[in-house]
């Protein structure tokens, strides 16, 4: 999956992450980009669901961690894990 085109300069973003996502068998079938612009409350995400492999883009307001997005196709909830400190 390609990164979202609007991401050009990382300095514009308060939050930006990219994760590979595994399905229930541990296979890396999906990916998620999650980002929030400085001064905005909404997060935007681009998701390739690891379960049904549907690509989708949407926005969401998260109230607390951990951040989760829901696939609009199969309805599964997908955890966007924090970056490890390594
Ligand atoms: Zn799905």
User: What pLDDT digit, counting tens, does each position of 18-47 carry?
Assistant: 999 999 999 999 999 999 999 999 999 999
Q: d(Cα 10, Cα 29) in Å, to the nearest integer? A: 26
Phi then psi for 36, rounded to 5 degrees?
Answer: -140, 130
Does residue 30 or residue 84 have the better pLDDT? 30
Q: Please name which of 4, 41, 51 lies closest in space to residue 17, comparing C-alpha atoms.
A: 4
CA of 64 to the centre of ligand 1 (A): 23
The pLDDT of residue 85 is above 60? no
How does residue 8 score in pLDDT terms, banded at 50, 70 and 90?
A: confident
The pLDDT of residue 84 is above 60? no
CA of 31 to the centre of ligand 1 (A): 11
DSSP bridge pairs for 51: none
CA of 66 to the centre of ligand 1 (A): 19
Least confident stretch, 7-16, 34-43, 45-54, 70-79: 7-16
Report, in angstroms and rounded to the nearest whole number, the Rg of the chain calculated over CA atoms.
13
């Amino acid at each position: 999956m390609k990164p979202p085109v609007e991401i050009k300069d990382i300095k514009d973003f308060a939050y930006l992450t990219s994760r590979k996502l595994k399905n229930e068998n541990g296979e890396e079938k999906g990916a998620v980009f999650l980002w929030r612009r400085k001064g905005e409350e909404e997060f935007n995400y681009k998701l390739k669901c690891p379960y049904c492999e549907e690509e989708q883009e949407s926005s969401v307001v998260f109230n607390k961690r951990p951040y989760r997005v829901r696939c609009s196709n199969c309805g599964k909830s997908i955890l966007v894990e924090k970056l490890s400190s390594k």
